[in-house]
Amino acid sequence: MNSQTPVDAFLEEPAINQTVPPSLIEEPPTRLWDILGKLGPGLIIAGSVVGSGELIGTTKTGAQSGISLLWLILIGCLIKVFVQVELGRYTVSEGVPTLEALNSVPGPRWRVNWLIWYWVLMMAASVGQLGGIVGGVGQAMAISLPITGDYARMVSLPAESDIKRFVKWENDLAGSKTEWSKLSALSQARIQRGQEITRAELAAAGEEGATRLADVTAGRKIVEPTTTDDRLWAIAFGFGTSALLWIGRYSLIQHISTFLVVGFTFVTVSNVVGLQLTEQWSISAAEIWRGLSFSLPDPEDGVSPLTTAFATFGIIGVGATELIAYPYWCLEKGYAQATGPKEQSDAWANRAAGWIRVMMCDALASMVIYTVATIAFFLMGVAVLYSEGRDPDSVRMVSTLATAYVPIFGPSARWIFLFGAIAVLYSTYLIACAGHARTIVDATRLFRGVKRAGAKSDERWLLVVSVLLPLLCLMMFLTGANPVTLILVSGISQALMLPMLAGAALYFRYTKTDPRLRPSAIWDVFLALSSIGMLVGGIWGVYSKFAGK
């Protein structure tokens, strides 16, 4: 009688690159230009991360904290690439997709191990994150191409939070000025600028502005109306994404993501450079140095920028979902197939080392792209939104972010931003849905104990999940949940996953990596530092959230 369980049989089956036809085995490129031609998975990952983590999370962190958390944003970008490469190393050499590899990590298991069960929880939060992102696309489209005009009209009115802040400081300045006297000159100038902006917005809103001011002054809550335009556009993009993923393939996704992200990143970097050339919006070298000095911001008006920052830490650069998805894109690019079936020969070891080197170049190139984009978005949030006391949130998420482009690009800023926002948000939505579909199909196979059918995931199930997932994310947005909250909740869940992935990477490195493919001692040091940083970031993020710090 065979006592082997389905999971045992599953774990003993051949790896993907053990059944590669000889015609697909290829020697790795050695010249720089040829290596650049083989890059791609990292560009897809860069396209995925720039939308939510960089555009929304990072800019919001800068808007809340000012320059003080620049150090955390920078570390969040640089620290994860070592774990990313280590997960990629294992996949390229062994031909094993990420979830299957994680399922082999020791620890409690029930059908699958504990890491896979937590991945299920994180994936549920990630569906909410993508709901927030498709909502952001809908907001941007509702402003740029209104259908009924109800959304554009609604966001032209000042938000309740802005009016509350306005009333608070107006009362304090008219009275004892107790709180005002405790502020630094920089904070006073920032608040004064915000007061002028809100005063102008209230005046421009006429009777509606006066009514809102009266309601807030009397302590009555402002109930924002449910708008139609943003929902209609989100529905259109949700169904359109389902269709695109049905017909799309790896190369299409790679080309779309590259075009969208590079274009908007260039615009954003240009905007930051332009801000630095102005007197009012520039950030001095002394402020930059302060941002790198490991200082922490204080909560202000009941808002904890540190909580937002650590939620952002989970999704800036390569977040946990991108770390898991990256090896799948490496498989689809063909790195493992080109390496060929694992052998004890020197030829295989040299070929595997060469393709791992290509994968490392791919990961490092993507790190440069998303680090430049992340720092640019953060500095933009500091220079404009923080100085004006603005905080992108809820139904005004996109319209508030657009104001960060006004000082340089003037009245045309909104159109430049809206095009870019649509580009990067939709790029994230498309790529994340495509990546999640691949991991979900792989996970269902793990839970059922079903063997792999071949080099790729079951095409039929992949198509079904690719069609249904964007629609499920769309439903999350249509529930009326705050898009920013959905994104930050996912960020916290991913921050928790980061130390788990770091531990798994160390496990693969020291127990499963082929001795012939082991990295240098210097790489091991950086991998250890990366793992420690991800552990500290994950624990601190949870503490700051639940301790209310």
CB 285: neighbour CB atoms within 10 A? 8
Q: What is the pLDDT of residues 348-365, one digit of tens each?
A: 999 999 999 999 999 999
Q: Give 59's contacts (C-beta < 8 A, 6+ positions apart).
A: 377, 378, 380, 381, 385, 392, 401, 404
- Please report whether residue 431 resides in a domain: yes
Q: What is the pLDDT of residue 149?
A: 93
Burial class of residue 66 in the structure, from the number of CB atoms within 10 Å of its CB (0-12 exposed, 13-18 middle, 19+ buried): buried
Q: What is the pLDDT of residues 446-465, one digit of tens each?
A: 988 766 654 444 677 888 89
Q: What is the pLDDT of residue 309?
A: 67
Contact of 427 with 47, CB cutoff 8 Å: yes
Give the span between the Cα atoms of 46 and 16, in whole angstroms.
26
Give the span between the Cα atoms of 246 and 107, in whole angstroms.
37
- Please report whether residue 369 resides in a domain: yes
Q: Specify the range with the lowest mean pLDDT, choosing from 261-265, 282-286, 450-454.
A: 450-454
Query: What's the mean pLDDT when you consider all of the chain?
Result: 82
* Rounded mean pLDDT, 274-298: 84
Give the span between the Cα atoms of 537 and 130, in whole angstroms.
23
Cα-trace Rg, the chain: 24
Q: What is the pLDDT of residue 145?
A: 87
Q: Note the helical H segments in 52-183.
A: 59-65, 70-78, 81-94, 98-102, 114-144, 150-155, 160-174
Phi, psi of 254, deg, nearest 5 = -60, -45
Q: What is the pLDDT of residue 514?
A: 92
Query: Which has more confidence, 91 or 178?
Result: 91
Single-letter amino acid code for the residue at 531? S
**pTM (two decimals):** 0.81
CATH number of the CATH domain containing 466? 1.20.1740
DSSP secondary structure code for residue 303 in this structure? B
Give the span between the Cα atoms of 256 and 431, in whole angstroms.
9
Give the span between the Cα atoms of 343 and 339, in whole angstroms.
10
- Please report whether residue 504 resides in a domain: yes
- Please report whether residue 185 resides in a domain: no
Give the span between the Cα atoms of 470 and 389, in whole angstroms.
34
Q: What is the pLDDT of residue 119?
A: 96
Query: How many domains, in total, are found in the chain?
Result: 1
DSSP string of 238-287?
Answer: HHHHHHHHHH--HHHHHHHHHHHHHHHHHHHHHHHHHHHTSTTT---HHH
- Please report whether residue 214 resides in a domain: no
Q: What is the pLDDT of residues 111-150, one digit of tens each?
A: 899 999 999 999 999 998 899 889 888 988 898 889 999 9
- Please report whether residue 315 resides in a domain: yes
**Can you give the residue range of the structural domain that contains 121?**
47-148+228-546
Greatest Cα-to-Cα distance within the chain, rounded to the nearest angstrom: 86
The sign of the torsion formed by the CA atoms of 430, 435, 438, 439 equals negative
- Please report whether residue 388 resides in a domain: yes
Q: What is the pLDDT of residues 16-50, one digit of tens each?
A: 666 666 767 899 999 999 999 999 898 888 877 76
| Residue among 10, 45, 42, 15 nearest 116 (CA) | 10
- Please report whether residue 169 resides in a domain: no
Q: What is the pLDDT of residue 132?
A: 86
Q: What is the pLDDT of residue 66?
A: 82
Burial class of residue 546 in the structure, from the number of CB atoms within 10 Å of its CB (0-12 exposed, 13-18 middle, 19+ buried): exposed
Give the span between the Cα atoms of 331 and 352, in whole angstroms.
13
Query: Which has more confidence, 465 or 403?
Result: 465
| pLDDT of 108 higher than 70 | yes
